[in-house]
Amino acid sequence: MPLPVITAEEMRAWEASTWESGIAPAEVIERVGRVLAAELMRRTRSGDRILVVAGPGNNGADAKACVRFLSDRQVGVVDATEPVSATGQLQDELSEPPDWIVDGVFGIGLNRPLDQAWAGLVDTLNRFRSFRVSIDVPSGLDATTGAVLGTAVQADETWTLGAPKTGLTVPTASAFTGRVRLFPDIGLRGRPRASGGLLWSVPGDFVGFPPRRPVDGHKGTFGHVTLLVGSQGYHGAAVLAARGALRARPGLTTLIVQPEILAVVAAQLSAPMVRSWTANLRLPENATSVVIGPGLAAKDLPVPFRDLASRTWREHEGAVLADASALDWLPPRSGLSSTLRVVTPHPGEAADMLDTTVKKVLADRVGSLREISRRLGNAWVVLKGFQTLVGRAEGPVWVNPTGNPGLGQGGTGDVLAGFLGGLLAQSRLAAMPERTLAYAVWEHGAAADRLEEASRNWSAEELNAEVGR
């Protein structure tokens, strides 16, 4: 079950209800210490040097609690209850930095700018060449708004506790949070109450998903995805999208490409059917989902082809997904639509769809997502980027924590579009679009994470082979 993204105030209320239930704060602090230490032990090696910087509050107590559970590591502790002396200790370490630094100076309680002495301590932490981990939130970052309170620790990763904090989902905070990892099981009672409508995907959300296929299933059971993709100079996108669709295992896959690239696309694919677009072409009658967009960037695409794409968006009874160039061709709708429609813009494309700037989209990603959805008749929106969002005009918006900067290369979005289309071709999955979309985005990012752990030079082709594994 996804966890709500909460404010600092909501986190404190959750803690207070836990203490009222009879659980002592010390019990939770010890649990946090064990959880943090277990992750440090998993990520480090025998003999690695770990420097724990513990501040005056509960965040510092959490940091100190992990120390006694670290074995076979060289562990140092800086007591940062007084900033000037702590800064002096840190400066002594700069010449021979530890392998890891654990930032436990300030947590969610910080709500005012750091004074000069504390800012000096944070700036010294940022000078280390060590791998920096912040507990709960980077010290100096407002947990609710994501604002930098003068200065903040620039963490490589943030290990947030219990539930994700709203400030960690703000795009401008990413330069300080690094990768956000959630550690939910810290001994708090029940679930937090949240008002913002954001849900954070967790691995358990997708255990056993997609559901097991029926034993009497056949090609007709699992649908027919049709992809309107590929133009001169962009045939690779068509191939990647097709292979992404195959990873979802639909019953049938058909590609419709521009005539000039038919041969080169067909030569690279064995399972899909590949057809050439003609002015009188009709989509397969049994098409249960349609993907439009990957590789359609050529300037001279025929007007009738664009008309086919727009007509398909308006009239097709199955799922339709628009990506990339096709986002410019969508006719706006008024009112709610009963058909399943999905768009997958990145922030630049979202800005074009809303006739605004990327900066404004990033300043209010949820609002931008909901406005795009409203303009398109309550379509589902996958707003791509760091912590991709999935949602529509009303209802919850899912925040996806998987993925890494390796996805910032041509072709990875084509893989996602195809994978989504292949899933939505299957009636059982199309009947639960929210979970299916959230799963696809999660798995796409998780596949990239698995590749990143194994190698630093993976490609979109390797991502295709990893998705759904």
| Of 387, 18, 391, 24, the residue nearest 192 (C-alpha) | 18
Distance CA 200, CA 281 (A): 43
Calculate the CA dihedral of residues 215, 219, 222, 226 and round it to 10 degrees: 170
pLDDT tens for 244-281 read 999 999 999 999 999 999 999 999 999 999 999 998 88
pLDDT of residue 335: 59
214 located within any domain:
no
Residue keyed to tokens 């086919």: 308
394 located within any domain:
yes
Distance CA 309, CA 230 (A): 13
Examine the domain organization and report whether 350 and 446 are in the same domain: yes
- The stretch 356-377 carries a mean pLDDT of 96
213 located within any domain:
no
Distance CA 435, CA 205 (A): 8
pLDDT tens for 402-435 read 999 999 999 999 999 999 999 999 999 999 999 9
Question: Count of CB atoms within 10 A of residue 427's CB?
Answer: 14
Identify the CATH number of the domain in which residue 381 sits. Answer: 3.40.1190.20
Are the C-beta atoms of residues 410 and 463 closer than 8 Å to each other? no
Distance CA 65, CA 31 (A): 9
62 located within any domain:
yes
For residue 210, is the peptide bond before it cis, meaning its omega torsion is within 30 degrees of 0? yes
Q: Is the pLDDT of residue 213 over 80?
A: yes
206 located within any domain:
no
Examine the domain organization and report whether 165 and 238 are in the same domain: no
273 three-state secondary structure: strand
Examine the domain organization and report whether 161 and 281 are in the same domain: no
204 located within any domain:
no
92 located within any domain:
yes
Note the Cα 142 to chain centre separation in Å. 21
Examine the domain organization and report whether 131 and 255 are in the same domain: no
336: confidence class by pLDDT, cuts 50, 70, 90: low
444: confidence class by pLDDT, cuts 50, 70, 90: very high
pLDDT of residue 95: 87
**Both tokens of residue 49?**
């040097």
218: confidence class by pLDDT, cuts 50, 70, 90: very high
pLDDT tens for 59-84 read 999 999 999 999 999 999 999 999 99
Examine the domain organization and report whether 226 and 113 are in the same domain: no
Strand partners, 391: 381
% of the chain surpassing 70 pLDDT:
99
158 located within any domain:
yes
Query: Helices 25-43 and 8-20 meet at what angle, rounded to 10?
Result: 120
Question: What DSSP string describes 14-81?
Answer: HHHHHHHTT--HHHHHHHHHHHHHHHHHHHS-TT-EEEEEE-SSHHHHHHHHHHTT--SSEEEEEETT
pTM score, whole prediction: 0.94
334: confidence class by pLDDT, cuts 50, 70, 90: low
Q: Is the pLDDT of residue 229 over 90?
A: yes
Question: Count of CB atoms within 10 A of residue 200's CB?
Answer: 24
Examine the domain organization and report whether 159 and 291 are in the same domain: no
Examine the domain organization and report whether 145 and 225 are in the same domain: no
469: confidence class by pLDDT, cuts 50, 70, 90: confident
Examine the domain organization and report whether 66 and 106 are in the same domain: yes
Query: What contacts 34, CB < 8 A, 6 or more positions away?
Result: 65, 66, 69
Examine the domain organization and report whether 380 and 250 are in the same domain: yes
195: confidence class by pLDDT, cuts 50, 70, 90: confident
pLDDT of residue 456: 85
Examine the domain organization and report whether 17 and 122 are in the same domain: yes
pLDDT tens for 289-309 read 999 999 999 988 999 999 999
Last residue of a domain, one of 193, 210, 229: 193
Examine the domain organization and report whether 183 and 247 are in the same domain: no
Are the C-beta atoms of residues 119 and 91 closer than 8 Å to each other? no
Mean pLDDT of the chain: 95
- Determine the structural domain holding residue 154 and report its residue range: 3-193
Q: Give the chain's domain count.
A: 2
Residue with the bigger pLDDT between 334 and 315: it is: 315
- The stretch 351-380 carries a mean pLDDT of 96
Examine the domain organization and report whether 170 and 225 are in the same domain: no
